[in-house]
Structure 1
Amino acid sequence: MDDSELQAIRKARMAELQKQQGGASGGAQAGGSAGNASNDQQQSVEDLLIRLVRSGQIQKKVSEQELISLLEQLSQQESKANKTKIVDNSTICELTFPTSVLKVKMNRKRLLVILEEQIYIYSLKNMELLHVLPVRSNPRGVCGVCQSPLHPFLAYPGNNPGEVIIFNTDSLEPVTVISAHKSDLAIVSFNPPAGKGSKDDRLLLATASEKGTLIRVFDAVTAQRLYEFRRGSMPTTIFSINFEPTTNKYLIVSSATETVHMFKLGEPAKARLRPSNSETEAPAASANKYFTSVLKMLEPQRDYTCLRIPTNGNTGDTSSGNGKTKNLGSANHINREFKSAAAFCKDMVVVVTSEGYLYQFKFRSPEFKDGELVQQYSLKSM
């Protein structure tokens, strides 16, 4: 399928979406201003992580907000609560919804409440309900919110399997549609605004399907696919995908296995194609080189480094480069549900697991190799 056919399909889907978006519909009512948004069920664990930071047991360079963000990604179980409180030391307002609240997200201007078949969009200025998005059944609450003031975008599953809709939460209009995977989405994640001095100002969207073997990265504005990474050959559930916030050149992915994968974003796929620089080269040889380049471009890239989550407190060597993981023994998660969430925090990678542990791995440090485990904490004893 060539670019013109993809553009035609994208335009047709955009026209369908614009017909569906007839404006804001009714639902919940609320008033007041907002501080932080949270589900009651998560509050106790959030408090626990905050106490860890304030007590000095976790280095101060790992902020409270970063830990809470990790917790949110780890909490994939279905919520039974249909209420969300807006709090700032005390409860400011309470929103009630017709079905369970799966997730609560915010950007600079909007509060977004994700239900299985609807997304409610509120103004943070006065908690006015602005819009209700109808959504194809989304029991995991899959969505992503961009924090860039230039791109106030929401990403959520479209009507077709593997489809992502990019929606502008300021103008309340769809931006584009991305055909990301053939099966249903498991997770979508925007890159954070690039740090000072970074020359890469692209808005990127990373995606994974329920199969969990491939990670794809798109330009969220043009819908062009830029990168494709292979996590592994066996299906698994992806629980977190996060970009390195300073340069957006690395991606960290955690799943239902004990291995956390780090990928390096080099040149986009199309940029890796180079025409022959020899005018006298035989046509057959030139074509051969071209198709070899195409095959290399289409082949998913392997990981840059693997981080191995220790088993039962074992803190041996937990990393290796070039996609080869040293065997530390299986964590034996086959017969029990295991979840992990990972993110970059300054010069480290922080991993939180459902077994009650928090791990710190070194990243870009002259004294340690990338992915070397340097600290671990048990949340059970707190």
Structure 2
Amino acid sequence: MLFSTSLVAAVGSGSGPSSSPRRLRILNTKKKSNICELTFPTAVLSVKLNRKRLVAVLIDQIYIYDISCMKLLHTIETSPNPKALCDLSSNDDSILIYPAPGPNVASPFNTDSDSKEPGSEVGTVVLFDGLNIAPLNIVKAHKAELVTLSLNSNGTLFATASVKGTIIRVFSTLTGEKVAQFRRGSYPATIQNMAFDLGSKLLAVTSDTETVHIFKVHIKEGTNQSNNSDDEQDDENDDAEPNILPRPGPLHSEPERKRQPSITDRVLRNLPKNITSMLEPQRDFAYLKVPNHQKQKKSTVGFSSKDVVVASSDGSLYTYTIPQNGGECVLVNEYALD
């Protein structure tokens, strides 16, 4: 659905022509009319839309349409993407993010594929300008394979998680720099969904555990939390990998001021790498426990005003309030679709 309008994108799930998963229909529910129908070479795994663009995600392609006339503007070739990892900003800037394709896939970033090491695209995110149809940047987010990614509403920040599920990272789409890092837990889990609130002050994360974590996003201007190391076995040179597209430099630079190392600096310097990395990421500000949780159920999360809304694949919907000082959220409403 396009925000709260009557425009709905629907994809079939049957075997017949009218209900094929390769068929995308754009409907006006208020007028009860069919605006248009599109048929794709393979199943449509996900649809993203805002007031300017409609994006259809297939197993190895991303189609970008002008939503005003449903004209095909561009097709992006990707590596196999069965999870349909892709997100589109809800504002008119139409920032698009998706996992970087392998060296054998045609891409504006693969200009020197012979020198690219196999597997170097793993954990890497491509930023694409869906409004002007142009590549923006490429960011190495994790050493391990990506499992989910999410943009904030105005397309200035995006969050990523890998298959390890222990570390959540937040990057700026303007510079490609990492601006925040959070620890979900010490043990691996499968991250299912992430969502920023409207003001990009909070980030909610669901996984295959019963706990939904809510993190406070504190971003300081000019801050780059450069250490990408964590228990995902990232090495010391993780941040040494430059973005393929150059980042704009500062307008002026000031001489670096050196200070004498404090006692804390000396202690941290002598700690083993895996211990110091565990000290850096922030823990959650608030959390909630999903009732009747089962590992095979999937859940998605969102914000409604100051509340957190969690929807489960079993048809349950829960609304929680976040305590002002953090801690465990309070369940205020519960619904079930019978």
TM-score category, normalised to shorter length: 0.7 to 0.9
Whether 1:87 and 2:27 are equivalent positions in the alignment is yes
Q: CA deviation at 1:40?
A: 3.4
Deviation string 1:52-95 (CA, Å, 9 cap, x unpaired) is xxxxxxxxxxxxxxxxxxxxxxxxxxx97111001112111110
Distance 1:267 1:220, change over 3 A: closer
Aligned residue in 1 for 2:78: 135
Aligned letter for 2:206?
S
Alignment of 1:1-382 (within 5 A): 35-41=7-13, 81-88=21-28, 89-149=32-92, 151-159=93-101, 160-193=121-154, 203-245=156-198, 247-268=199-220, 270=223, 288=266, 295=276, 299-311=280-292, 331=293, 333-334=294-295, 337-363=296-322, 371-380=329-338
Report if aligned partners of 1:86, 1:93 keep a CA contact under 8 Å in 2: yes
- Partner Cα distance (2:165, 2:40) in 1: 31
Distance 1:220 1:80, change over 3 A: farther
Deviation string 1:209-256 (CA, Å, 9 cap, x unpaired) is 1222211100012110111111123322222111111x3111101112
Aligned letter for 2:204?
I
- Partner Cα distance (2:264, 2:187) in 1: 37
Distance 1:90 1:183, change over 3 A: same
- Partner Cα distance (2:100, 2:258) in 1: 49
- Partner Cα distance (1:211, 1:271) in 2: 23
Q: CA deviation at 1:271?
A: 7.0
- Partner Cα distance (1:297, 1:233) in 2: 9
Instruction: Give SS of 2:283's match.
Output: coil
Aligned letter for 2:309?
V
- Partner Cα distance (1:92, 1:182) in 2: 43
If asked which structure has higher relative contact order (CA below 8 Å, sep 6+), I would say 1
Where does structure 1 lack aligned partners over 5 or more consecutive residues? 1-33, 43-78, 194-201, 274-278, 312-330
Instruction: Please give the TM-score of this superposition, normalised by the length of structure 1.
Output: 0.64
Report if aligned partners of 1:144, 1:155 keep a CA contact under 8 Å in 2: yes
Report if aligned partners of 1:348, 1:364 keep a CA contact under 8 Å in 2: no
Distance 1:280 1:346, change over 3 A: closer
Whichever structure has more strand as a proportion of its residues is: 2
Q: Which moved more, 1:129-138 or 1:79-88?
A: 79-88
Instruction: Give SS of 1:288's match.
Output: helix
Aligned letter for 2:285?
Y
Instruction: Give SS of 1:229's match.
Output: strand
- Partner Cα distance (1:169, 1:113) in 2: 12
Whichever structure has more helix as a proportion of its residues is: 1
Q: CA deviation at 1:361?
A: 0.5
- Partner Cα distance (2:261, 2:100) in 1: 44
Distance 1:298 1:162, change over 3 A: farther
Aligned residue in 2 for 1:73: none
Q: CA deviation at 1:187?
A: 1.3
Report if aligned partners of 2:13, 2:20 keep a CA contact under 8 Å in 1: no
Distance 1:298 1:108, change over 3 A: farther
Report if aligned partners of 1:347, 1:365 keep a CA contact under 8 Å in 2: no
- Partner Cα distance (1:167, 1:220) in 2: 10
Aligned residue in 2 for 1:27: none
The CA RMSD over aligned residues, in Å, is: 3.2
Deviation string 1:11-41 (CA, Å, 9 cap, x unpaired) is xxxxxxxxxxxxxxxxxxxxxxx93222234
Distance 1:91 1:83, change over 3 A: same
Report if aligned partners of 2:169, 2:180 keep a CA contact under 8 Å in 1: yes
> Runs in 1 of length 4+ with deviation above 6 angstroms?
none
Instruction: Give SS of 2:143's match.
Output: coil
Aligned letter for 1:253?
V
Instruction: Please give the TM-score of this superposition, normalised by the length of structure 2.
Output: 0.72
Aligned pair count?
273
Q: CA deviation at 1:364?
A: 5.2
